[in-house]
Every structure is written in C-alpha cells, then in structure tokens.
C-alpha cells in the first residue's frame, strides 16, 4: 500500500516519507467546507487555504487585500472538512514581513482560531527571521519561492521567474536556507523545470511545484482553475479537469427555465 494509503492523517513526517520513497505529493487549494470535503475525500495530501482566495473568492486583482481574519474564516471551514489531509494556511500580505513578532502572532492566531496544521509564507532570506521565530513555537512552516504573488508590484508581471543565472542562484541559496532553518516543505512557483528539478534533488525536504515541471516532489493547483470554474486564466501549466463553469451554466439556465415554465416544483417536489 502507498504511504498515503497507510496514513490515518497526513503529517509533515508522512510527507517527508513520501519524498524519501519517491511517492508524489498531491496538493490543492480549498477555501470552504463543502469544497474541502470533496478534495479531502478524493485523496489529496495537502489542502492549501491559499491567499489566492483573495482572487478566487473575493474577486480582487491580487492577493494583497486579503486579511488575516478572512484567512482564518476560510481556514475554519476547511479544517472542519479535512479528515485526512494536512491543512496549510497562507499568511497574508502584511502579517509577517519585516516583523518576526507579528509573524509569530499571526501564525499563532491561525493555528489557535482555525485548528490548521501549518502555515505558508512567501520569500527567502528577507523573511528568515520571521520563519525562525514562528518555528520556535512549534508551528510547521512551508516556504514559497519563485513567483511570489504578494510581490507582484515588485516583479511587475506574472511571468516565469529565475530564468537568469543570478536569480536562479539566489533561489537555490534560499531553498537550502529554508531547509536548514527547519521548513518542512516548500512551494516552487513558475520557475524553469530544470531549476526546480535541481533544487528538488539538492534539498532533503519535499518541494511542491506549480508551473515548475515534473521534477518536483509534488504538485499544487488552484482548485477553481483545475475545475474550470475560473474562466479567464489559462497559463500553460494549468491542466483543466472539468469545464465546471459551462456545466454550472447549463444546470442553472435549466433551473431558471423550469421555474419560469412552472415545471419546477412538480407535485413530487412539494408537501
């Protein structure tokens, strides 16, 4: 039986065993109870309550506006649903950068108020102190390198990161540092597949890629993108498993027609 199959609950130790034995890790986002129940039931290892909720759930252009209270609200529903998956929650923009005490306070709020199992934050050397302080409280931390959407106004675009030697070298150094200080895993977003494979081979902790190729130890996608609920986002790395937006449109249009034609409710659908 696979390591995932044997585990009652996915822990950071189980993820490490998966990396050690070459079993790939499947991670997806979820932001609410109903979706998280389906995701968990389908056998996903890690559910990420991503700050992509800012785009997907609230309709913002970037991840910057979402607050810690919003993230905790989303995480609470996901934690109630997740019977097996490890639940990781993004620290939102402005709650951990440049102030390690605030980073610890934000992480403790997430763990205490939502019951999640770990936090994730973006960046390397510049957030080292924050990560170290969070780890002192026994809170598992997942790193995030490459395209880090909270820095979109610094990058100016969502294109592939670390194509040039200097940025690639800095990323490799950051990945090694994140492992050394005690992160249990890290996300590699939108970096060349060769670089992601090199980093995944060089460090001992599991890497989870998004637009970073098959050499990572696991993969993550935004649930609403892979189900085809979001429509106007089609990067090359995205595989759509459903056209849910179209399927929902058909179902809802039929409901509207049935109400208007008095077909719904029928005699059997009333008391």
Give the residue numbers marked as catalytic.
189
Asked if residue 219 binds ligand KIV (CB under 6 A), the reply is no
Candidate ranges 7-15, 43-51, 72-80, 225-233; the one touching ligand KIV (CB under 6 A): 43-51
The nearer residue to ligand KIV, 4 or 209, going by C-beta atoms, is 209
DSSP label of 123:
B
By the rule CB under 6 A, 90 interacts with ligand KIV: yes
Question: Does 50 engage in binding with ligand KIV (CB under 6 A)?
Answer: yes
67's torsion region: left (phi>0), alpha (psi -120 to 50) or beta? beta
CA distances from 86 to 23, 26, 32, 81, 225 (A): 16, 11, 15, 11, 21
Query: Rounded to the nearest whole angstrom, what is the least distance from the CB of residue 163 to ligand KIV in the complex?
Result: 19
Shortest Å, Cβ 63 to ligand KIV: 6
Instruction: Report 189-208 residues binding ligand KIV (CB under 6 A).
Output: 189
The alpha carbon torsion through 186, 187, 190, 196 (nearest 10 deg) reads 40
By CB under 6 A, the count of residues binding ligand KIV is 11
Helix, strand, or coil here: 175? helix
260: three-class secondary structure by DSSP:
helix
Candidate ranges 44-52, 124-132, 152-160, 258-266; the one touching ligand KIV (CB under 6 A): 44-52
Establish if 187 lies at the interface with ligand KIV (CB under 6 A): yes
Per CB under 6 A, 95 contacts ligand KIV: no
> Which of these, 30, 158, 22, 25, lies nearest to 88 by C-alpha position?
30
Residue whose beta carbon is closest to ligand KIV: 50
Among 45, 51, 174, 217, binds ligand KIV (CB under 6 A): 51
* Contact characters 221-250, ligand KIV, x per CB under 6 A: -x----------------------------
Distance in Å, CB of 208 to ligand KIV, minimum: 8
Task: Please spell the DSSP secondary structure of 36-78, one letter per residue.
Answer: HHHHHHTT-SEEEE-TTHHHHTT--SSSTT--HHHHHHHHHHH
179 is a site residue for ligand KIV (CB under 6 A): no
Q: Which is nearer to ligand KIV, 90 or 217 (CB)?
A: 90
Query: Per rule CB under 6 A, is residue 210 in the interface with ligand KIV?
Result: yes
148 touches ligand KIV (CB under 6 A): no
CB 118 within 8 A of CB 89: yes
22: region left, alpha or beta (phi > 0 left; psi from -120 to 50 alpha) = left
Q: Residue 13: CB partners within 8 Å, gap ≥ 6?
A: none
Instruction: Give the footprint of ligand KIV on this chain (CB under 6 A).
Output: 29, 48, 50-52, 90, 187, 189, 210, 220, 222
């Amino acid at each position: 039986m696979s390591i995932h199959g044997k585990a009652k609950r996915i822990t950071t130790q189980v993820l490490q065993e998966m990396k050690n034995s070459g079993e790939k890790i499947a991670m997806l986002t979820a932001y609410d109870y109903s979706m998280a129940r389906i995701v968990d039931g389908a056998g996903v290892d890690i559910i990420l309550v991503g700050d992509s909720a800012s785009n997907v759930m609230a309709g913002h252009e970037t991840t910057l506006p979402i607050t810690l209270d919003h993230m905790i609200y989303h995480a609470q529903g996901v934690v109630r649903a997740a019977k097996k998956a490890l639940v990781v929650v993004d620290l939102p923009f402005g709650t951990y950068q440049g102030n390690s005490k605030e980073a610890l306070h934000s992480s403790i709020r997430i763990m205490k108020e939502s019951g999640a199992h770990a936090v994730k934050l973006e960046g390397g050397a510049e957030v080292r102190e924050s990560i170290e302080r969070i780890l002192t409280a026994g809170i598992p931390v997942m790193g995030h390198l490459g395209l880090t959407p909270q820095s979109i106004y610094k990058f100016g675009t969502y294109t592939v990161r670390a194509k040039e030697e200097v940025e690639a070298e800095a990323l490799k150094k950051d990945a090694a540092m994140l492992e050394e200080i005690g992160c249990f895993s890290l996300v590699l977003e939108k970096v060349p597949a060769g670089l992601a494979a090199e980093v995944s081979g060089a460090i001992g902790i599991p890497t989870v890629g998004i637009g970073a190729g098959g050499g990572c130890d696991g993969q993550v996608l935004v649930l609403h993108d892979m189900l085809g609920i979001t429509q106007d986002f089609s990067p090359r790395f995205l595989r759509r498993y459903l056209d849910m937006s179209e399927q929902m449109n058909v179902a809802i249009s039929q409901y509207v027609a049935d109400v208007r034609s008095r077909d719904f409710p029928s005699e059997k659908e009333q008391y």
